[in-house]
């Protein structure tokens, strides 16, 4: 959640609470409004989004689709944002300016408050301890765990309190110590402030004001919060002293004249701020009724639920839903694919629709809703697929797991299939849609009827999976639509955390306890999840590893393929019983051609390494806008780590594409994306996947695998050259690669995830500079290993 979103939502809560306070401040307990202000501070300072069906922002979200800025996933290319290059460039220039203005205001205001606090503390350094016996006995009799010091100073105009852990009550030197009634009122008031930690709340309000200084409602919040803090303190003090003391307490307010001005962010004082309001409140004080207490609770809960929460996205926003429905032509399910494509493309060519499509296709929230919301499902599975460049051939995947009471980990089954449209003039959209879901439903049920013994029997599962694939593909294929299983991978259940590679035909343990099935679907061309191996260890489907240690590292530059080369060791079942690598699965774009690389290499001008990132990225942005498809093909090829030999690229050219071109593409993508989200995010890269295998014939098999992500932050691209950026992130990637190559196998097998996180963070720090900071989070690191003895059957 961005600072601006927090400020807007906090401002709405403040305005609503202020309106309620205006009409009900004398009818509800004072604590009611303090509770509302506490909620406002929480909304202003805690960057968390809490979706709620009761949120007032649901209506705005349903109307516009902008209840909150969408969180768009990073991509190395500019994809469909080419048309927004001009406005994006404006954001690129404007965003840093506004950030600097905000930071300057926040620092200036914080410096003002801190200097004021230091000034007042310096004035009170020479205060003297109070020696009045009545005052000392009264403070000691309050039984507060924190020791309260009582001091006096001629510099203090009115009684006040400062300090949180070691509170001090500072009294004016000219206090009339003979008036015990007044002394009791003053000390009771200040002790109430200390007991309620009001100084801490003043500090929190100051922090909120410094962060949101540009929001006038936050200034109003601090004023009203200070008043209500004093009013509630008055109320508690009068109740403590007794109802008969209210007149004496009011007189004390009148007699003590405030002689100081300015904001008091770190202290609470017995002042005459809004004295008239306070005196009226004291004289009207009465016992709180049950009805008022109930109304206060309902008010706080209601206002908080409505204005401190975010829109709940259970479906597509109304404005976006209306746009999607325009593509659901009358009888669209019975239209042929060709007819549907023709009408959809005409509609997409409209300027308004084209702009909407650029925004909607990158909406990650809608992407997550495609399995639950019919319109999101239509958007991604029908409209997106049938209007894509490679619409005739689309790929999908899914996974299911079946757990057993006697197993530590469940049996897992993953699959990928391709749908090839052979006759678009006869295949209907409804038939295409039904076949897609039919494949998912039937493949998800593959493990459903199997017993534990069957799932653990490698020979049985090989034959069973081959037969099921033939049956399912045959059921949903037709003359107009060919469906082919690209790959499947199967992992048997493990016992006590160890994968079973043995033939369990003789397993006879009684079952009878419930097992479970879970499924997950991977819509077209979706990559493997972060931290997850894209090919499961196949148990009895795993080929024998070499006798010696074998270290495998994918290409080391940030833009090159991140998939582990240990995929070559995984045999997956195909319908004809032959093996095929999972990495041969389908892609969104065809391989880049030599002409594509030659076009991109035009950016590799003389002296490009000494160009500022601002200048180089602008050149790349212009090239990407003019060569959108080339950009997509190169990015896709980078993900597959291919075409270097065929394209005849030199090592220097390969490094330019995989490092410079790729990293600047990421930065441009985030810059363009900030046009929609309102915040500029740091580029996130997936590092090389490193694996090592170790085999002792007849004794043990072992392997370890590291997968990681990292981001980098550049404050000012006009002050960083391409060379400086590339040396940092390229050096980091090579450092990780070098460590993995040099490390001993036993050292890697004894290491754990925390060890790898510390290693990566150390290497990140070594390769960072003041201008380019590399960051590695523990959440972005996955380290898996297996070291177990072989069991001879």
pLDDT in tens, 657-712: 989 999 999 998 888 777 656 678 899 888 767 777 766 555 556 788 888 999 99
| Pairing status of strand 310-311 against strand 51-52 | parallel
Stretch 255-259: mean pLDDT: 54
At 215, the pLDDT band (50, 70, 90 cuts) reads very high
Both tokens of residue 662?
Answer: 């790729």
Stretch 78-90: mean pLDDT: 36
pLDDT in tens, 381-396: 899 889 888 899 988 8
The answer to whether residues 305 and 48 touch, using CB atoms and an 8 Å cutoff, is: no
Element containing residue 709 per DSSP (H, E) = strand 700-714
pLDDT at 643: 53
CA distances for 669 relative to 543, 589, 662, 725, 773, angstroms: 41, 18, 10, 17, 19
pLDDT in tens, 289-302: 677 778 778 887 87
| Pairing status of strand 168-172 against strand 149-153 | parallel
CA distances for 413 relative to 67, 487, 646, angstroms: 38, 11, 35
The answer to whether residues 585 and 486 touch, using CB atoms and an 8 Å cutoff, is: yes
| Pairing status of strand 700-714 against strand 690-696 | antiparallel
Q: How many residues comprise the chain?
A: 793
Q: What's the predicted TM-score (pTM) here?
A: 0.43
Both tokens of residue 170?
Answer: 């500072």
CA 681 – CA 66 distance, rounded (Å): 19
pLDDT in tens, 594-634: 888 999 999 999 999 999 999 999 899 889 888 888 888 88
Write a three-state SS string for 16-56: HHHHHHHHHCCCCCHHHHHHHHHHHHHHHHCCCCCEECCCC
pLDDT at 704: 84
The answer to whether residues 356 and 401 touch, using CB atoms and an 8 Å cutoff, is: no
Q: For the residues of 466-517, what is the DSSP string, one character each?
A: HHHHHHHHHHH--SSEEEEEEEEEEE--EETTEE--S--TT------S--EE
Asked whether residue 280 carries a pLDDT value surpassing 60, the answer given is yes
pLDDT in tens, 309-335: 766 555 667 788 888 899 999 999 999
Q: Which residue has the tokens 């925390």?
A: 754
Residues whose CB is less than 8 angstroms from the CB of residue 743 and which lie 6 or more positions away in sequence, other chains included: 692
At 288, the pLDDT band (50, 70, 90 cuts) reads low
CA distances for 501 relative to 520, 624, 723, angstroms: 25, 49, 50
pLDDT at 539: 34
CA 165 – CA 163 distance, rounded (Å): 6
Cross-sheet strand order for the sheet of 516-522: 481-491, 411-421, 393-403, 516-522
720 vs 786, residue with greater confidence: 720
pLDDT at 532: 33
CA 453 – CA 219 distance, rounded (Å): 69
Specify which residues 684 forms β-bridges with: 711
Element containing residue 316 per DSSP (H, E) = none
Task: Work out the percent of the chain whose per-residue pLDDT is above 70.
Answer: 72
Q: Degrees (nearest 5) of the Cα angle 655, 660, 666?
A: 130
Both tokens of residue 677?
Answer: 């989200």
The answer to whether residues 478 and 431 touch, using CB atoms and an 8 Å cutoff, is: yes
DSSP 571: -
Stretch 445-452: mean pLDDT: 88
| Pairing status of strand 168-172 against strand 700-714 | unpaired
358 vs 344, residue with greater confidence: 344
The answer to whether residues 379 and 360 touch, using CB atoms and an 8 Å cutoff, is: yes
């Amino acid at each position: 959640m961005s600072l601006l979103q927090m400020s807007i939502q906090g401002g709405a809560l403040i305005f609503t609470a202020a309106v309620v306070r205006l009409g009900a401040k004398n009818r509800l307990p004072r604590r009611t409004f303090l509770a509302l202000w506490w909620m406002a501070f929480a909304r202003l300072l805690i960057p968390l989004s809490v979706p709620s069906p009761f949120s007032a922002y649901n209506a705005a979200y349903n109307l516009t689709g902008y209840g909150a800025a969408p969180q768009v996933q990073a991509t190395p290319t500019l994809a469909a944002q080419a048309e927004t290059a001009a406005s994006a460039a404006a954001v690129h220039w404007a965003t840093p300016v506004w950030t600097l203005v905000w930071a300057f205001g926040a620092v200036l205001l914080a410096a003002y408050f801190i200097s004021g606090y230091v000034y007042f503390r310096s004035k009170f350094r020479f205060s003297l301890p109070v020696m009045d016996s009545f005052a000392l006995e009264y403070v000691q009799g309050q039984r507060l765990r924190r020791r309260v010091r009582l001091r006096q100073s001629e510099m203090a105009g009115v009684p006040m309190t400062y300090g949180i852990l070691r509170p001090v009550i500072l009294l004016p030197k000219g206090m009339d110590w003979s008036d015990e009634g007044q002394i009791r009122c003053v000390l009771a008031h200040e002790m109430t402030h200390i007991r309620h930690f009001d100084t801490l709340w003043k500090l929190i309000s100051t922090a909120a004001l410094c962060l949101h200084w540009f929001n006038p409602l936050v200034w109003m919040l601090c004023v009203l919060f200070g008043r209500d803090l004093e009013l509630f303190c008055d109320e508690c003090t009068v109740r403590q002293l007794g109802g008969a003391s209210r007149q004496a307490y009011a007189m004390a307010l009148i007699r003590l004249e405030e002689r100081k001005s300015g904001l008091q962010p770190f202290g609470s004082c017995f002042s005459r701020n809004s004295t008239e309001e306070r005196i009226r409140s004291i004289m009207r004080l009465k016992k709180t009724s049950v009805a008022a207490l109930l109304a206060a609770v309902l008010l706080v809960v209601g206002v908080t639920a409505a204005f401190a929460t975010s829109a709940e996205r259970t479906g597509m926003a109304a404005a976006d839903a209306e746009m999607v429905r325009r593509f659901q032509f009358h009888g669209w399910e019975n239209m042929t694919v060709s007819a549907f494509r023709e009408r959809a493309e005409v509609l997409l060519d409209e300027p308004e629709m084209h702009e909407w499509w650029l925004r909607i296709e990158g909406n990650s929230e809608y992407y997550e809703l495609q399995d639950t919301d019919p319109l999101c499902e239509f958007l991604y599975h029908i409209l997106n697929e049938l209007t894509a460049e490679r619409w005739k051939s689309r790929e999908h995947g899914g996974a299911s797991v079946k757990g057993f009471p006697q197993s530590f980990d469940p049996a897992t089954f993953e699959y990928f299939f391709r749908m090839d449209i052979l006759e678009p003039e006869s295949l209907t959209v409804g038939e295409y849609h039904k076949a897609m879901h039919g494949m998912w439903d039937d493949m998800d049920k593959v493990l459903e009827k199997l017993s534990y013994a069957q799932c653990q029997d490698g020979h049985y599962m090989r034959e069973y999976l081959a037969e099921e694939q033939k049956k399912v593909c045959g059921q949903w294929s037709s003359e107009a639509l060919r469906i082919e299983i690209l790959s499947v991978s199967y992992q048997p259940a493990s016992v006590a955390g160890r994968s079973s590679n043995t033939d369990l035909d003789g397993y006879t343990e009684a079952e009878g306890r419930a097992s479970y099935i879970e499924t997950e679907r991977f819509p077209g061309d979706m990559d493997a999840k972060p931290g997850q191996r894209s090919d499961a260890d196949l148990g009895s489907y795993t080929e024998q590893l070499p006798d010696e240690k074998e270290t495998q590292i994918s290409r080391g530059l940030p833009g090159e393929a991140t998939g582990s080369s240990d995929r070559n060791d995984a045999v997956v079942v195909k319908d004809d019983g032959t093996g095929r690598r999972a990495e041969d699965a389908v892609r969104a774009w065809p391989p880049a051609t030599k002409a594509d690389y030659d076009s991109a290499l035009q950016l590799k001008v003389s002296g490009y390494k000494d160009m500022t990132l601002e200048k180089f990225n602008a050149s790349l942005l212009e090239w990407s806008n003019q060569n959108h498809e080339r950009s997509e093909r190169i990015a896709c090829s980078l993900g597959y780590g291919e075409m270097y030999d065929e394209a005849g690229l030199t090592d220097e050219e390969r490094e330019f594409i995989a490092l410079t071109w790729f990293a600047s593409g990421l930065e441009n993508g985030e810059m363009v994306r900030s046009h929609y989200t309102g915040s500029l995010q740091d580029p996130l890269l997936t590092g090389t996947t490193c694996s090592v295998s170790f085999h002792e014939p007849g004794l043990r098999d072992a392997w370890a695998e590291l997968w990681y992500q990292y981001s980098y932050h550049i404050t000012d691209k006009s002050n960083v050259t391409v060379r400086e950026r590339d040396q940092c992130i390229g050096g980091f990637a090579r450092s990780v690669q070098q460590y993995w190559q040099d490390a001993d196998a036993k050292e890697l097998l004894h290491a754990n995830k925390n060890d790898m996180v510390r290693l990566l963070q150390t290497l990140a720090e070594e390769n960072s500079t003041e201008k380019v900071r590399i960051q590695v989070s523990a959440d972005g690191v996955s380290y898996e290993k297996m070291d177990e003895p072989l069991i001879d059957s």
